[in-house]
Amino acid sequence: MADAPIISLRGIANRFGSVTVHENLDLDVLPGEVLGLIGGSGSGKSVLLRTILGLRRPQEGDVRVLGVDIIHADEAARRAVRRQWGVLFQDGALFSSLTVIENIKVPLREFTNLPPDAMDDVAAMKLRMVGLAPEAALKYPSELSGGMRKRAGLARALVMDPAVVFLDEPTAGLDPIGAAAFDALIADLRAALGLTVVMITHDLDSLYAVCDRVAVLAEKRIYAVGTIGELLRVDHPWLREYFTGPRGRVAAGVAEVSGHAGHDAPANGQARAGTPTGTAEHAAGGVGDRAS
Amino acid sequence: MRETVPPFREPTLKGDYQRPDPDAHAGAHEPGLTCAPAAASADGAFARGMPDGTGLAQTCAHEQVFTFTGAWDVGSISRMTSRLLRHCAGVCAACGVRGDAPVVHLDLAEVSRLDTAGAQLLCRAAANMAAAGAHVVWHVPDTGRAMLLDRVRAIDISTVPRERRISPVLRALNAIGASFVEEWEQARSIIGFLGMFLVSLAAAAVRPWRLRWVSIVHHMEQTGIQAVPIVALLTFLIGLVTAYMGSEQFTRFGAQVFVVNLIEVSTLRELGVLLTALIVAGRSGSSFTAQIGAMVANEEVDAMRSMGLDPMEVLVIPRVVALVLMLPVLTFIADFMGVLGGGIASWLSLGISPGAFAVRFLEITRLANFVTGLVKAPFFALIIGIVGCFQGFRVTGSAESVGRLTTQAVVEAIFLVIVANAGFAILFMSLGV
């Protein structure tokens, strides 16, 4: 039961006019995992994220998050789910008229009845947890650097201790040191808070450093999903280029040297070990079909 | 005194995590807290996490067990905060009375959900008791939770500055002072901006081929031609209303025909140009700020500068020049429509035929009234254009500031136009025109 998918997408189709972005797309996210979502530019990663969040209604298909049908459920049920997820948009999406600490307190104000002092305490804790300097609390978003805005956005996403966190390109636009620190932060918070994380990323280092599994969005569906080791065995030109191109090789080399390569992730329980392999085989089967 | 934290296995980076509690999604358990002397439960039931064997129980006479149950999370702790802190205060008070330090056991084995906020509250309570001299012993069987508590304990939030809650009176005084300083600064920089504009304009006047004529014509269309319908309609209506109101007053002493004089002096001298300026301030002044502001926020202006283009020359001069050229034209249209409206109203309400109106109008019209109205137009255009562009350049980063400064540009432009109009009235009066 504990390993039932926390998010499950079935048969999703997204079309913009005559352009089909997704067709018959399936995806499962297991509780407690960090799932990376990769795909070329324009492959519809952000559209998929918006679909999961219920910001966009797909033409076909079902989205279930934490057991709630996001598309057809009534507003009360959807509200209840929204309280249990946190979203970090690309540039933080902080409210520009509020200070950082006020931004972090927004969900607390909306969804809890904590007294003001306790809200300040909880928000201050999250501010420090994501590694922001104390002085950042009273600054406005326009006074922050891009990296600090992302951290503040993450603090806001985490303030309710959600079950699921969605990250849209969390490390894009950060310097390598900042990006590595952000990766470590996500891994750390995941371990401490038991988060499930879905992250869109282009950053190979992030994939190796924090992702348990990686889902590849290609050919209008989730083409393959599995550990990086499994994906390396999938025969697809884009994937091959992605992982074995010059940047991919460097990232893989670094990951091996530093000793926490993603594809050697310990298998936790039968279901977790089983599902990715199954999906990867399915994907490999798909490739075989096309070849014949 | 001190806190004893049982050692726990350091979880590996991957894989070892606290599973989200499935019940958490289905509505949390009520949190609970019982507080009892250890004697009641110390015997067998409480063997699980006791550090250092049983030594403590023998050395300390006074022991308390806090047993936490249910969900201690951000949604539920507000109900428990005061209760927990009350128990804490009891322990703290006991510390002062007894000679030996009391021992407090915090038992988290029955907790169904613990999040950061809950952990924070527990840590705060523990820290309070430890500071008062109690010996706090944690019993946390779950490694994930132990790690969360550890992390929370390690973070010091006292350095995070709080928003100061100041009295409304002080806040109001502060706001008044701040706005004075801001207006002063702004007045200085807007004069500086005007100076820069005039220098650039003089440079362009020497070499007119450097002027961006395409851009000027574009803005003439945007700010001038497209404003014609609304300017015409509004001034027509105002002329109509002025004539109606005037005719009512003049009829009382049988001087209906002076309605024409009223129309002539009010429309040509004041209302035509002023209304046009106000409409244009709302229409074009705001759009200048929004356009330039969006470009500043999007770093387009910086890109322009880095390419060696002068934003003053590229953005400001075409807009202001176009406005200075078009506002007199719009004013002329406004004058015409105002008089037309007045004429129609006097025909309808007083029976002054259009022919009679025209004759009377031509007979009494002084060129000076028409010219004084028209002469003000370029100056108003300059005010509107400069304020609009100036505020656009003040945008900093956020989208919110674009909106705020756009509003400010319109308010300021209208304010300055009316002030300038008063100045012109005094000037013309003393000149006797």
What digits encode the pLDDT tens for the residues A238-280?
888 887 777 776 676 666 655 444 444 443 433 333 333 334 4
Average pLDDT of the residues in B118-126: 86
Q: Do the Cβ atoms of B162 and A260 come within 8 Å?
A: no
- For residue B29, the model assigns a pLDDT of 60
More confident residue, B382 or A218: B382
Question: Could you tell me which chain A residue has the CA closest to the CA of B19?
Answer: A194
Alpha carbons B206 and B171: distance in angstroms, whole number: 52
Name chain B contacts of A84, Cβ cutoff 8 Å.
24-25
| pLDDT for residue B289 | 95
Which of A99, A115, A121 lies closest to B157 in CB terms? A121
**How far does A102 lie from chain B, in Å, by closest CA?**
9
Q: Between chain A and chain B, how many beta carbons pairs sit less than 8 Å apart?
A: 130
Q: Which residue has the higher pLDDT, A229 or B389?
A: B389
CA distance A141 to chain B (A): 8
Q: How confident is the model at residue A97 (pLDDT cuts 50, 70, 90)?
A: confident
pLDDT of residue B10: 39
Facing residue for B147 by CB, picked from A115, A128, A191: A191
Containing structural domain, residue A134:
93-161
Q: Which of A161, A181, A215 is the last residue of a domain?
A: A161
pLDDT digits (tens, 9 = 90+) for B134-182: 888 888 887 778 888 888 888 888 888 887 777 889 989 999 999 999 9
Nearest to B160 among A31, A108, A124 (CB): A124
Q: What DSSP string describes B359-408?
A: HHHHHH--HHHHHHHHHHHHHHHHHHHHHHHHHHHT--SSHHHHHHHHHH
Q: How far apart are CA B39 and CA B31, in angstroms?
A: 24
Residues A216, A262, single domain; the answer is yes
| pLDDT (0 to 100) of residue B59 | 39
**Percentage of residues in chain A having pLDDT higher than 70:** 84
**Total domain count, chain A:** 2
Percentage of chain A lying above the pLDDT 90 cut: 3
- At residue A82's C-alpha, the angle toward residues A47 and A143, to 5°, is 75
Grade residue B259 by pLDDT with cuts at 50, 70 and 90: confident
Mean per-residue pLDDT, B203-217: 87
CATH of B2-154, picked from 3.30.750.24, 1.10.3720.10, 3.40.50.720, 3.40.50.300, is 3.30.750.24
- Please tell me which of the candidates A141, A161, A196 has its beta carbon nearest to residue B73: A161
- Amino acid (one-letter) located at A280: A
B62's torsion region: left (phi>0), alpha (psi -120 to 50) or beta?
beta
Q: Are A77 and A12 in a shared domain?
A: yes
Smallest Cβ–Cβ distance between A2 and the set B19, B24, B147 belongs to B19
pLDDT at B253: 84
Query: Which chain A residue shows the shortest CA-CA distance from B82?
Result: A115
Q: How confident is the model at residue B177, as a pLDDT?
A: 94
Question: Tell me, what's the pLDDT at B53?
Answer: 34
User: Do A76 and A194 sit in the same domain of this protein?
Assistant: yes
What's chain A's average pLDDT? 79
Mean pLDDT of chain B: 82
Mean of the pLDDT values across residues A194-222? 86
The answer to whether A187 contacts B155, with C-beta atoms less than 8 Å apart, is: no
> Which one, of B326, B329, B374, B378, lies nearest residue B221 by Cα?
B326
- Closest partner residue to A191 (CB to CB) among B13, B121, B161 is B13
Full 3-state SS string of chain A: CCCCCCEEEEEEEEEECCEEEEEEEEEEECCCCEEEEEECCCCCHHHHHHHHCCCCCCCEEEEEECCEECCCCCHHHHHHHHCCEEEECCCCCCCCCCCHHHHHHHHHHHHCCCCHHHHHHHHHHHHHHCCCCHHHHHCCHHHCCHHHHHHHHHHHHHCCCCCEEEEECCCCCCCHHHHHHHHHHHHHHHHHHCCEEEEECCCHHHHHHHCCEEEEEECCEEEEEECHHHHHCCCCHHHHHHHHCHHHHHHHHHHHHHCCCHHHCCCCHHHHHHHHHHHHHHHHHHHHHHHC
pLDDT exceeds cutoff 60 at B13? no
Measured between beta carbons, the chain A residues lying within 8 angstroms of B81 are 115, 118
Same domain, A118 and A231: no
* Residue A264 in domain: yes
CA neighbours within 13 Å on the CB side: how many for B296? 24
Is A170 a domain residue?
A: yes
pLDDT in tens, B373-430: 999 999 999 999 999 999 999 998 777 788 899 999 999 999 999 999 999 999 999 9
**Lowest-pLDDT range of A177-191, B1-15, B111-125:** B1-15
| Residue where a domain stops, chosen among A112, A143, A161 | A161
B172–A contact, CB cutoff 8 A: no
Mutate to test the interface with B, among A7, A85, A140, A161 (most CBs of B within 10 A): A161
Question: Which chain B positions have a beta carbon within 8 Å of A134's beta carbon?
Answer: 159-161
List pLDDT tens digits, range B73-94: 887 788 788 888 888 887 777 7
User: Given an 8 Å threshold on Cβ–Cβ distance, is B160 in contact with A128?
Assistant: yes
CA distance A83 to chain B (A): 10
Domain boundary pick from A138, A161, A184 = A161
Contacts of A161 in chain B (CB under 8 A): 73-74, 115-117
Same domain, A121 and A247: no
- The string of DSSP letters for B188-251 reads HHHHHHHHHHHHHHHHHHHSGGGS-HHHHHHHHHHHTGGGHHHHHHHHHHHHHHHHHHHHHHHH
Q: What's the confidence (pLDDT) of residue B60?
A: 45
Q: Looking at residue A270, what is its pLDDT?
A: 35
Do A191 and B144 lie within an 8 Å CB cutoff?
A: yes
Q: Within this chain, do residues A129 and A31 fall inside the same structural domain, yes or no?
A: no
Q: How confident is the model at residue B192 (pLDDT cuts 50, 70, 90)?
A: very high
Q: What is the arithmetic mean of pLDDT over B88-116?
A: 77
Residues A183 and A258 in one domain: yes
Quick check: is A122 in a domain?
yes
The answer on pLDDT for A138 being more than 80 is yes
Classify residue A276: in a domain, yes or no. yes
Distance from CA of A9 to the nearest CA of B (A): 19
A interface test, pick of B16, B23, B80, B157 with most A CB neighbours within 10 Å = B157
What does the pLDDT look like over A21-76, one tens digit per residue?
Answer: 888 888 888 888 889 998 888 888 888 888 888 888 888 888 888 888 888 888 88
Mark whether A51 and A174 lie in a shared domain. yes
Q: Does B12 touch chain A (CB under 8 A)?
A: yes
From-to residues of CATH 3.30.750.24 in chain B: 2-154
According to DSSP, the residues that pair with B103 across neighbouring strands are B63, B135
What average pLDDT does this structure show over A101-126? Answer: 87
- Across the interface, do A194 and B17 touch by the CB < 8 Å criterion? yes
Question: Looking at the domain assignment, is residue A168 inside a domain?
Answer: yes
Indicate whether A230 and A274 sit together in one domain: yes
List b or e across A96-121, with b for residues whose CB sees 16 or more CB atoms inside 10 angstroms: eebbbbbbbbebbeebbebeeebbbb
Q: Distance between the two ends of chain B, CA-based, in angstroms?
A: 90
DSSP state of B45: T
Q: Is residue A2 part of a domain?
A: no
CATH code, domain with A232: 3.40.50.300
Residues A168 and A154 grouped into a single domain = no
pLDDT tens digits, one per residue of B349-373: 888 889 998 998 888 888 888 899 9
Interface test with A, best of B74, B114, B158 (most A CBs within 10 A): B74
Reported as type and span, the H/E element at residue B179 is helix B168-206
Q: Which residue has the higher pLDDT, B3 or A18?
A: A18
Cβ-based contacts of B13 with chain A (< 8 Å): 187, 191, 260
B432 touches chain A (CB under 8 A): no
- Whether the per-residue pLDDT at B27 is higher than 50: the answer is no
Asked if pLDDT for residue A90 goes beyond 70, the answer is yes
Structure confidence at residue B316 (pLDDT): 94
Please give the residue that has the higher pLDDT: either B237 or A57.
Answer: B237
**A contacts of B401 (beta carbons < 8 Å):** 96, 142
Distance CA A126, CA A113 (A): 18
The reply to whether A157 and A170 lie within a common domain is: no
| CA-to-CA dists, residue A185 to A126, A153, B334, angstroms | 12, 13, 65
ipTM beyond 0.95? no
Looking at the DSSP bridge assignments, the partners of residue B33 are B68
Structure tokens at A163: 């079950």
Question: Which pLDDT value is given to residue B281?
Answer: 95
A80, part of any domain: yes
Q: pLDDT confidence of B37, banded at 50, 70, 90?
A: low
Please give the pLDDT value at position B5: 57
Any domain includes A186:
yes
What's the whole-number mean pLDDT along residues B58-69?
Answer: 68
The closest CB to that of A265, out of B14, B75, B161, belongs to B14
Taking the CA of residue A288 and the nearest CA in chain B, the distance in Å comes to: 32
